[in-house]
Amino acid sequence: MSTPQRSRRAVRPSGDDRQRAIVDVLEELLRSRPLAEISVDEIAGGAEISRSAFYFYFASKQAVLLELLDRMVREVDERLAAVPSRVEQPREWWGACLAVFVDVFGAHRAVTATLAEARATVPELRAEWGRRLAGWVDLTAATIAAEQRRGRAGAVVDARATSVVLNAMNERVIAASLTGEEPSLPPQQLLVVLTDVWCSAIYGTPRP
């Protein structure tokens, strides 16, 4: 809960490896069970250090999670930047962007799932995720607005509000699918359906 200020900058050569090891071990452990069922003991054991040594690197296991989140988000942003900019086929373009989320979240399903669990208890996590999500929401809203100005998307809908809703939908749907919760979609169906809903919401007519 407190501030995790000791590490990061102060860390020297071999310590850097340890820090990385801790983060890796946690992601590995999260593949098998939720954060609440993983003790600091186990993480430290996996990284081959003592429990108290763990606290030299991180203030808590939640702090490690923050690092894990950062890794994943950075990966998304990199791959998002690599999407060929603005093909003249909107559906393909949105699909390509959505594929990035499906792929990266899928590759880090442990982190994705833990996010929902820990968000409630870890303010820093909630804030950090909010910041990153806000970035994508802005991007989406800007693109929608551009499509509206171009006349391809109807001007009826509020670009920003729609963007918020669609991004939130992604998060939940992907997490549910990846963890195999009961009413959820098989991963291969995911991309198609998400693209359908996004395009409908953006280009479709909301008033039948």
Q: Which of 23, 35, 96, 100 binds a copy of itself (CB under 8 A)?
A: 35
Work out how close the CB of 117 gets to a copy of itself at its nearest, in angstroms, rounded to a whole number. 4
Residue 116 contacts which entry, DNA, a copy of itself, none (Cβ below 5-8 A, type-dependent) = a copy of itself
Residue 204 contacts which entry, a copy of itself, DNA, none (Cβ below 5-8 A, type-dependent) = a copy of itself
- The residue ranges that bind DNA (CB under 7 A) are 1-2, 10-16, 18, 38-41, 49-53, 55-57, 59-61
Neighbours of 139 (CB within 10 A): 15
- Three-state secondary-structure class, residue 160: helix
Q: What angle do CA 78, 80, 83 make, to 5 degrees?
A: 115
Looking at residue 2, its amino acid is S
Work out how close the CB of 189 gets to DNA at its nearest, in angstroms, rounded to a whole number. 37
Residue 201 contacts which entry, DNA, a copy of itself, none (Cβ below 5-8 A, type-dependent) = a copy of itself
Q: What distance in Å separates the CA atoms of residue 63 and residue 19, rounded to the nearest whole number?
A: 12
* 162, 202 contact by CB (below 8 A): yes
Q: Could you say whether residue 78 binds a copy of itself (CB under 8 A)?
A: no
Q: What distance in Å separates the CA atoms of residue 137 and residue 6, rounded to the nearest whole number?
A: 33
Residue 180 contacts which entry, a copy of itself, DNA, none (Cβ below 5-8 A, type-dependent) = none
Scored b (16 or more CB within 10 A) or e, 94-127 reads: bbbbbbbbbebbeebbbbbbbbebbeeebebbee
Question: Helix count (H) and strand count (E) of the chain?
Answer: 9, 0
Residue 92 contacts which entry, DNA, a copy of itself, none (Cβ below 5-8 A, type-dependent) = none
The nearer residue to a copy of itself, 19 or 195, going by C-beta atoms, is 195
Q: Which of 126, 139, 148, 187 binds a copy of itself (CB under 8 A)?
A: 126
Q: What distance in Å separates the CA atoms of residue 175 and residue 90, rounded to the nearest whole number?
A: 25
For a copy of itself, the binding residues (CB under 8 A) are: 34-37, 90-91, 113-114, 116-117, 119-121, 126-127, 130-131, 133-134, 137, 152, 156-158, 161-162, 164-169, 171-173, 176, 181-185, 189, 193-197, 199-201, 203-208
